[in-house]
């Protein structure tokens, strides 16, 4: 693991790292914010998953999260969204910046596009081993495609992620044109496998969700077309299985990072509350 750059921020430190990934078989990058409290003790940690076309830079420089994270004493890890580099395939309207947080099964994608295992296994272990964080208080959140990733990774890995939230998530990629393109390329025609990476289908398959923590979702009502995100399907699925959901809809807000900035503090507070409760 190599340090690319390091920056003081609200009393903490933002560091950009690169490392060679055994899962994606290429160089991967991520940023890590360590709050001032991490100098003295292990702190709760959040993994943030970005959306289509993004890198580790988007959240780090645009979300405005670190003032609140410093105040709350929470570390934040922001990985890239897909494998990149010479020999890594791209094209067909998917590829770089569009890993969709799945493990691809179809050539030529299956060699490198293993973002599900990269986040949940390799990066999770790397962070817990090398940083002053408490992996027993680990939450996950994301935006757009990353919101899809956060929801599915949380639902599939309840022993790892103790809290979840999403901003304008792709709630049902199997019902979104770009999700269908990506899943067809990465996963072939295996519909049960598609459904295992779709939050609305996962909720139904997992059944009673009354034991899980509340899901916080914020959605702008000027985010067009909303049909690509399907928050209504998420709301319906949560109601069907008694999953606690706080779906907040906001007039006038679109899909971009000005929207993310507007509600990021609420998401950090949501996680701080749940991760504190999981530790007590």
Q: Which residues pair with 140 in a beta bridge?
A: 47, 164
Vertex 211 angle, CA 208 and 214, to 5°: 100
Spatial distance between the Cα atoms of 142 and 199, rounded to a whole number of angstroms:
13
Spatial distance between the Cα atoms of 186 and 202, rounded to a whole number of angstroms:
19
Are the C-beta atoms of residues 29 and 44 closer than 8 Å to each other?
no
Spatial distance between the Cα atoms of 165 and 63, rounded to a whole number of angstroms:
15
DSSP secondary structure, 146-159, as one string: HHHHHHHHHHH-TT
Cβ burial, residue 229 (10 Å; 0-12/13-18/19+): buried
Q: Which residues are catalytic?
A: 144, 223, 255
Cβ partners under 8 Å of residue 125, min gap 6 = none
């Amino acid at each position: 693991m190599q340090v690319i750059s390091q920056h003081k921020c609200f009393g903490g430190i933002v560091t950009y790292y690169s490392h060679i990934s055994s899962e994606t078989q290429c160089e991967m990058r991520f940023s890590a914010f360590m709050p001032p409290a991490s100098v003295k003790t292990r702190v709760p940690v959040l993994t943030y998953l970005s959306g289509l076309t993004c890198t580790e830079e988007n959240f780090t420089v645009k979300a405005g999260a670190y003032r609140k994270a410093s105040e709350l004493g929470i570390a934040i890890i922001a990985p890239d969204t897909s494998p990149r580099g010479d020999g890594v395939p791209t094209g067909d309207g998917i590829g770089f910046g569009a890993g969709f947080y799945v493990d691809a099964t179809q050539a030529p994608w299956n060699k490198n596009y293993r973002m599900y295992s990269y986040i949940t296994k390799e990066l999770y272990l790397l962070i817990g081993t090398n940083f002053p964080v408490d992996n027993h208080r680990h939450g996950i959140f994301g935006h757009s495609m990353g919101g899809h990733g956060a929801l599915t990774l949380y639902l599939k890995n309840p022993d790892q992620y103790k809290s979840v939230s999403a901003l304008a998530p792709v709630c049902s990629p199997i019902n979104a044109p770009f999700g269908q393109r990506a899943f067809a390329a990465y996963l072939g025609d295996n519909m049960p496998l598609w459904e295992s990476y779709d939050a609305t289908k996962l909720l139904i398959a997992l059944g009673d969700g009354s034991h899980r923590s509340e899901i916080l979702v914020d959605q702008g009502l000027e985010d067009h077309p909303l049909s690509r995100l399907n928050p209504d399907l998420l709301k319906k699925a949560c109601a069907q299985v008694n999953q606690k959901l706080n779906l907040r809809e906001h007039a006038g807000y679109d899909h971009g990072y000005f929207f993310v900035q507007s509600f990021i503090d609420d998401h950090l507070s949501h996680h701080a509350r749940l991760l504190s409760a999981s530790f007590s």
